[in-house]
Amino acid sequence: MEVGQLRDGLLQLILLIISIGLHEFGHAWMADMRGDPLPRLQGRVTLNPFAHTDPIGTIAIPAFMIFFGPGFSLIGWGKPVQVSLPNPKTRRMDDIYITLAGPAMNVVLCLVLALIGTLGDFDPKSQEVIIVFLARGIFLNAGLAVFNLIPVPPLDGSRLALRLGLYSEELFLAIARWGFVILIVLINIPGFRRFIYWVMSPLLDGSALVWPYFERFL
């Protein structure tokens, strides 16, 4: 493996760890705001990405896919934030807000990275690594925001479908048994990847409005 490939792989892995960590922080922070004590008791209301890291799902499997290129699309996950939803009167809405907070954090990260790009006014020749890091971060977080809204367990979209009444408990559990297999198949279907990119487009276009140079990556 060449030095450039190793550098690019490490950048991609670092971005994934940060992005997944902040996604899980979004869940934990919203749960804390809604009066759920469990995430804070478990040390999850923190910006430290390693508090949200799953050794297998956040590091080992993504690293294998990045550095050894088995031919599958990149997939990874963080340590799920556990919630207790202690208030029966607001339990349904609490769960909806908590679930949405993860993808929302990735949307915020897209805009923050674009803002860093435009305020930093980086030189493409001497600071190419920084520019590529920011651009890949925008693509990654746009992808995480959209992908996590797919209504297949264990993704956030399935939890929303359950709470919005689109899934019954029985249907949710039935899909959950095959959720991981379904996702592996989906992410390796070219048409599905094109659909995800199409849904990502408003986020990418919005990032380009904030950071005009990013348009060169689209």
pTM: 0.94
**What is the rounded average pLDDT for all residues in the chain?**
94
Burial tier of 98 (Cβ tally within 10 Å: 0-12, 13-18, 19+):
buried
Range of the domain at 108: 3-80+89-217
Residue pair 175/185 in contact (Cβ under 8 Å)? The answer is no
**Residue 218: which residues within 8 A CB-CB, separation 6 or more?**
204, 205, 208
Residue pair 36/84 in contact (Cβ under 8 Å)? The answer is yes
Which own/partner contact pairs does 122-131 have at CB distance under 8 Å and 24+ positions apart?
124/213, 129/7, 129/11, 131/213
Cα(210)–Cα(118) distance, rounded to whole angstroms?
A: 7
Domain count, the chain: 1
Kindly report which listed range (20-34, 49-63, 65-79, 127-141) carries the lowest average pLDDT score: 65-79
Asked whether residue 91 carries a pLDDT value surpassing 60, the answer given is yes
CB atoms within 10 A of CB 167: 20
Instruction: Give the three-class secondary structure for 166.
Output: coil
Mean pLDDT of 144-158: 97
Please write down the HEC assignment for all residues of 28-63.
HHHHHHCCCCHHHHCCCCCCCHHHHCCHHHHHHHHH
Q: How far is CA 101 from CA 61, 126, 127, 157, in A?
A: 25, 37, 33, 12
pLDDT at 2: 78
Cα(207)–Cα(110) distance, rounded to whole angstroms?
A: 7
Confidence of residue 46 (pLDDT cuts 50, 70, 90): very high
Confidence of residue 4 (pLDDT cuts 50, 70, 90): confident
Residue pair 67/16 in contact (Cβ under 8 Å)? The answer is no
